[in-house]
Amino acid sequence: MRFAGKVAIVTGGGQGIGYAFARALATEGCAVALLDIDDARARDAAARLEAEGARAMGVLCDVAEEAQVEAAVAAVAARFGGVDVLINGAAKHLMEFNAPPLTLARHKWRRMLDVNVTGIVNCSAAARASMRERSGGVILNIASIAGFVATSSYGVSKLAVRGLTVALANELAADGIRVCCIAPGIVDSDAAMSDVPRAIIDEFIQQRQLIKRQGRVEDLVKAMLYLCSDDASFVTGETLIVGGGFPLRV
């Protein structure tokens, strides 16, 4: 019960990896708020967690909209007493945005950056005061192995997430807030499995990964629990690659 008495906000928490993160935190005693651009999805996901005995709430929120973010964080603090953990998981991703920079339509560029990058700024700024009042907290950003290659529009946005992680870790250190990042490889989330052709996944595993198996959402959950807990109390500003050995870096 590493998170007993803690409160976490998970953006993009209505489904997929975000929901898995919220459920894992709830299992370890955390109250969880699932923020999602789909109100029904957020509330349904929260209801499922409550049925399992968790303290949970679903909140409509477009992370690109500053006022919506501030209202959502205020609602979470009012119900649960504050915020200790923020997981910035909401993102525009997968094949639609995995295009060369000059190929992706400009309106899609703007929307992607508004969500993937500015959304993190909005949520971090909104949660900061509550975390500071509770003697610190943890912000966990979700990047991607694509951010280490950065040949696609999506990859560039996730490169920005890595840089923002470092900048926020520096800015928020005085408030006792740690900021870390996970860069997932291709994992078996429903979104990835339905969007990325199986042939591409298999080729990636065999030709690029050192560990020759499909990545699992469970792999990310374990990394998240470590970085968001006191087990990682001496870690900040870091991006942890969970990609089966790709990419390697020195």
Count of CB atoms situated within 10 Å of the CB of 135: 10
Amino acid 64: pLDDT:
98
Amino acid 167: pLDDT:
98
> Would you name the residues annotated as active-site residues?
154
* Domain boundaries defined on the chain: 7-241
d(CA 37, CA 59): 8
pLDDT mean over 111-117: 98
What is the average pLDDT score of the chain? 97
Enter the tokens of residue 196.
Answer: 């990325």
pLDDT mean over 195-213: 95
Q: Tell me if 219 sits within 8 A of 187, measured CB to CB.
A: yes
Amino acid 93: pLDDT:
86
d(CA 80, CA 12): 19
Q: Which tens digits make up the pLDDT trace of 146-159?
A: 999 999 999 999 99
DSSP 8-state symbol, 146:
H
d(CA 100, CA 153): 6
**Type and span of the H or E element at 39:** helix 39-51
240 forms bridges with which residues in the sheet?
A: 182
DSSP 8-state symbol, 230:
G
Enter the tokens of residue 29.
Answer: 């005693």
Crossing angle (nearest 10°) for helices 16-27 and 217-228 = 50
pLDDT mean over 95-117: 96
Euclidean distance between the first and final Cα of the chain, in Å? 35
pLDDT mean over 160-164: 98
7 forms bridges with which residues in the sheet?
A: 31
Enter the tokens of residue 247.
Answer: 């990419």
Question: Is pLDDT at 90 greater than 90 in this prediction?
Answer: yes
Question: Is pLDDT at 71 greater than 90 in this prediction?
Answer: yes
pLDDT band of residue 79 (cuts 50, 70, 90) is very high
Question: Is pLDDT at 209 greater than 90 in this prediction?
Answer: yes
Question: Is pLDDT at 95 greater than 90 in this prediction?
Answer: no
d(CA 87, CA 28): 16
Count of CB atoms situated within 10 Å of the CB of 108: 15
pLDDT band of residue 187 (cuts 50, 70, 90) is very high
Query: What is the fold, at CATH topology level, of the domain defined by 7-241?
Result: Rossmann fold (3.40.50)
Three-state SS at 70 = helix
Question: Is pLDDT at 15 greater than 90 in this prediction?
Answer: yes
pLDDT mean over 139-146: 98
Amino acid 222: pLDDT:
98
pLDDT band of residue 94 (cuts 50, 70, 90) is confident
pLDDT mean over 190-219: 94
Enter the tokens of residue 62.
Answer: 């477009």
Q: Percentage of the chain with pLDDT > 90?
A: 95
d(CA 164, CA 141): 9
Q: Tell me if 213 sits within 8 A of 123, measured CB to CB.
A: no
Is the N-terminal amide bond of 247 cis, ω within 30° of 0?
yes
